[in-house]
Amino acid sequence: MALIMDKETAAASTRRAFGRDAIAIATILVLAAVGYLLFPDNLALLTRLIAIALLVLSLDLVTGYCGVATLGHAALFGAGAYAAGIVSAHYGINDPMIMTVAGIIGGAIAGLICGVVILRAQGLPQLVLSIALIYLFHEFANKASNWTGGSDGLSGISADPLFGLFEFDLYGHTAYIYAVALLLIVLILLRFLVRSPFGMLCRGIKEDPLRIRAMGASPKTALIKMYVISGAVAGVGGALNAISTQVVGLDSLSFTQSAEALVMLVLGGTGSLFGALAGTMIFMLFEDYVSAANPFHWLTVVGLLLILVVLFAPKGIYGTAAAYLARSREDRS
């Protein structure tokens, strides 16, 4: 009888989780439609927002779910962007799907390299290694100017019409719709990933790696696998950025990009995919509008926002809101 009740409880919990996911995905679709209708002249910003959101999602996989400290995650994003740009600019492969696949491969390879190096240390040494890696990637891209364009950036990138029908116009309509589709696909796949036994293993490594090792699993192997997956996700964002802007600059491999991605993750809430999305949207839209309203002191306003969130919502805006709603449901029941 107890076993039956446990199965029923688990099934009910699974149904509730999928129900919440369905609501969240529907909300994303509604917000995407509202953005398309209300800001038809600013779709480039929204597409850029989605590309960065994919970077923050990838960062959440290794930091929020695995507890790996890193400030060099833009290396994965930039690797994906350059991979997509190179196949177009140097090889004339302009199919957006193939460019996206190239970005995934480039990001995954960069993730493997970074994972092998960073996971040789723990804590603060991980941060030092990640910072060193982002500078090495940046300098390599700068020196390999024949392939990357160096400090001038990689230009000559173009994308053929999507499915041979929908051109990537100057207004960014096709790029935006393609970005929303990529985001939804990645998000759904990641929801399955973090709830899978592998995802639970990574959560366990974050909480107690010694116990996981005692159970016979290899924490380092699992974390490297997650780093590769994270690189693939970041590579999707990098490829999307290259396709939509048709240029890849060294700023895609900058330390500033990595630091801002971490800020967005903390702002929304670590260990939550929807928190990563919320943090990216809040930060980038807030930054855009505040900098337009006050171009001289907007950093002060952004800094005050971050201080308030860290002090009064340590789980992030989304994480704190989700915890409050969970407590409210428990009180009512």
Please report the pLDDT score of residue 13 as a whole number. 59
At 126 the pLDDT is 92
Residue 294: Cβ within 10 Å count: 12
Alpha helices, H only, the chain: 2-38, 43-63, 74-89, 96-118, 124-143, 145-148, 173-195, 197-207, 209-214, 219-245, 255-268, 273-293, 298-312, 316-332
Q: What is the pTM of this model?
A: 0.92
pLDDT value of position 208: 85
DSSP 8-state symbol, 246:
S
pLDDT at 7: 52
pLDDT at 3: 42
pLDDT of residue 71: 92
Point out the residues of the chain with pLDDT beneath 70: 1-17, 330-333
C-alpha dihedral sign at 267, 322, 61, 181 = negative
